[in-house]
Structure formats: structure tokens, C-alpha cells
């Protein structure tokens, strides 16, 4: 609509400009010799036509823009006006009040995002956040309050990581996980895991019991590997799939055994890190098996490759646990 009005204004301004320009041109031509020359004629005609047109269009266009802005402000929903007021607020408390009014007027994503940003930023810089949280928590729906809590816990975990309080950081990540966050998506988790892995690798004192466990599981790895290498992997598709299912079962049982053993060996924080890493591994294992199975056409071949991929991944994970946690 605005474009139609402006185009109409441009047409009107050109008509008015042409009429006014012609009269101005006649007056100039009668008073100045230069206007009588070809160059002067062209210059004067263009100038006299365009100047009134530009003047009229500028006045009309500016007026239309102001009217459009006024109409937009008048017709804007009240909850959006509160968000605009929040942007102009001078204090955080005043801004939160306007955003809360916006939510109470009409539940909207913009206010939710702004409130979440303010509170989590306060946490990030170790500033007062409880007052603002208490002001708005009753205005949040249950699902969005969970999202806010997750973001808050993530900020707390960030701060604890910075202060090298790794156990505390993991506690906050655990709380976030209980609300639905995938801890494997958190950079805090992976940074702590890397730190803990390096500590075990470089700072641990020799442990005879740990060495014995490592030797025990390495021997078991060799035994299973030798055993499954003797299996018959030929026959019908069903027979081949059953063979790989048996291989998978052997590696899976071995993996569960070492995983349960590590519960008695690792600290609570290290075990929590392993638990989360294991969940992430399961996701990657299944995705890899899915991709491997799609490389072949028939359904029966897909099932064989899927099972084979699971067995291969489980075997690799078993060896990873020996190398990463029994050193």
C-alpha cells in the first residue's frame, strides 16, 4: 500500500514539476540570453522540470513516511509496544518489567528470548540475577521455564569450568540433562573430559591393580578376536546375519563387563564423564551402522551390514575403554 501511494506521489510530482518547470523556464528564457542557446535550453528545461518534481516528491514522501510510522505505532500490538519500551529502558529492572508485561499481554518468543539473554548474561558475569528471575518465572510456561533453567545451568557450568571446579560444573550439566539437554552437545563436558583424560594419562601414579585389569581385558580382547575370526561367515543371508549377531553379542557382553568394572575404579566425576561419553558413542555407533547399511541395495544385505557395523563399533569401543581408562 505504501509503495502504491509513493508511486502515485511520484507521478503527481512529475506532473506538477513539468507545469511549474515550464513556467519557470519561460521566465528564465525572457531574462537570460544563455537560456536561448541549445545547451542553456537543455540545462534550464531539465533543472526547471526536475527541481519542482523533487521538491513535491520529497514533501509528499516524507509526509507519507511519517503517517505510515504513526499508523504503524497506533496499530502495533500492545505486547510489541512493551518490547519497544524495554529496548528504551535505562535499567535492567525496568527492562525486565516491560518484557514481563509483554509476556502477560501476549505470550511471545521475542520477550522469552530477551529475558533468557538478560538472566544468563548476568550469571555469566557473576552479577545479581535472582531478582530478575523471580520477577518473570511465573510468567513462563513450564516448557519454556525448563529451557530457561537449562540455559542457566549451562552458564553456571561455564563459570565453574573457568574456576576449575570440574565436579561442580558436572553437577550443573547433570541438572541440565535431567531437564532434557544432551550433555554431549556441551563444550564444557568435552573440555572437562579432555582435562580428566590428560590427568589420568600423565599424573596418575603406577597402580598394580589397574595394570592387572588392563592385562586381563587385553587378553580377553585377543581371545574374543581369535574366537570370532574362526566363525563361518558364509551361507544364506540369514545365516550370515546370525553369525554377525553372535559376534556383536560377544563384544557387547565384553563391553558391558569392562564398563561395569570401571564403575568401581573411576571417581564419581570420571564415571559421570564416561557415562555421558558412552551415550554419545551409542548415537554415533547407530548412525554409522545406518550409513554403512545404506551402501548396499537389498534389504537382507542392509541388515547384515548394519549388524556387522554394530559389532565393529562395539569392538573398537571396548579397546578404547582399555586404552583410555585402564592406563
User: Which residue is it, cell 541549445?
Assistant: 38
Asked if 237 and 304 count as a contact pair (C-beta separation under 8 A), the reply is: yes
What CA–CA distance (Å, rounded) separates 289 from 42? Answer: 78
Residue 43: the pLDDT is 62
Residue 267: the pLDDT is 86
- The structure's pTM equals 0.66
Residue 67: the pLDDT is 47
Which residues in the chain show pLDDT less than 70?
Answer: 1-10, 12-75, 203-207, 297-298
Asked if 264 and 280 count as a contact pair (C-beta separation under 8 A), the reply is: no
Kindly state the percentage of the chain with pLDDT values over 90: 62
Cell of 39: 545547451
Q: CB pairs under 8 A, 24+ apart, for 296-299?
A: none
What CA–CA distance (Å, rounded) separates 87 from 186? Answer: 31
Asked if 170 and 272 count as a contact pair (C-beta separation under 8 A), the reply is: yes
Asked if 167 and 269 count as a contact pair (C-beta separation under 8 A), the reply is: yes
Residue 71: the pLDDT is 44
What CA–CA distance (Å, rounded) separates 71 from 78? Answer: 14
Residue 196: the pLDDT is 87
Residue 149: the pLDDT is 97
Domain ranges in the chain?
A: 2-75, 204-325
Q: Which residues does 259 contact at the CB level (< 8 Å), separation at least 6?
A: 274, 278, 321
Amino acid at each position: 500500500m505504501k509503495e502504491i501511494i509513493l508511486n502515485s506521489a511520484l507521478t503527481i510530482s512529475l506532473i506538477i514539476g513539468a507545469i511549474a518547470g515550464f513556467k519557470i523556464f519561460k521566465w528564465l528564457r525572457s531574462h537570460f540570453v544563455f537560456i536561448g542557446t541549445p545547451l542553456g535550453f537543455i540545462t534550464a528545461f531539465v533543472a526547471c522540470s526536475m527541481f519542482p518534481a523533487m521538491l513535491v516528491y520529497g514533501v509528499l514522501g516524507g509526509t507519507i513516511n511519517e503517517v505510515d510510522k504513526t499508523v504503524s505505532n497506533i496499530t502495533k500490538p500492545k505486547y510489541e509496544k512493551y518490547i519497544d519500551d524495554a529496548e528504551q529502558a535505562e535499567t535492567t529492572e525496568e527492562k525486565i518489567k516491560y518484557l514481563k508485561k509483554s509476556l502477560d499481554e501476549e505470550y511471545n518468543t521475542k520477550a522469552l528470548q530477551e529475558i533468557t539473554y538478560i538472566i544468563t548474561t548476568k550469571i555469566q558475569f557473576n552479577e545479581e540475577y535472582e531478582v530478575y528471575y523471580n520477577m518473570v518465572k511465573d510468567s513462563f510456561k513450564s516448557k519454556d521455564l525448563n529451557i530457561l533453567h537449562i540455559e542457566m545451568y549451562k552458564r553456571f557450568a561455564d563459570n565453574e569450568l573457568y574456576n576449575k571446579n570440574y565436579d561442580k560444573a558436572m553437577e550443573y550439566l547433570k541438572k541440565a540433562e535431567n531437564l532434557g539437554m544432551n550433555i554431549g552437545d556441551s563444550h564444557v563436558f568435552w573440555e572437562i573430559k579432555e582435562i580428566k583424560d590428560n590427568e589420568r594419562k600423565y599424573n596418575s601414579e603406577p597402580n598394580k591393580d589397574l595394570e592387572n585389569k588392563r592385562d586381563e581385558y587385553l587378553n580377553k580382547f585377543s581371545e574374543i578376536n581369535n574366537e570370532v575370526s574362526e566363525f563361518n561367515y558364509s551361507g544364506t543371508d540369514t545365516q550370515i546375519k546370525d553369525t554377525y549377531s553372535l559376534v556383536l553379542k560377544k563384544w557387547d557382553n565384553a563391553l558391558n563387563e569392562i564398563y561395569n568394572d570401571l564403575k568401581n575404579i573411576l571417581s564419581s566425576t570420571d564415571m559421570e564423564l564416561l557415562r555421558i561419553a558412552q551415550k554419545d558413542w551409542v548415537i554415533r555407533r547407530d548412525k554409522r551402522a545406518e550409513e554403512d547399511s545404506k551402501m548396499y541395495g537389498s534389504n537382507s544385505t542392509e541388515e547384515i551390514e548394519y549388524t556387522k557395523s554394530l559389532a565393529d563399533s562395539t569392538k573398537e569401543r571396548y579397546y578404547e575403554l582399555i586404552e583410555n581408562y585402564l592406563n
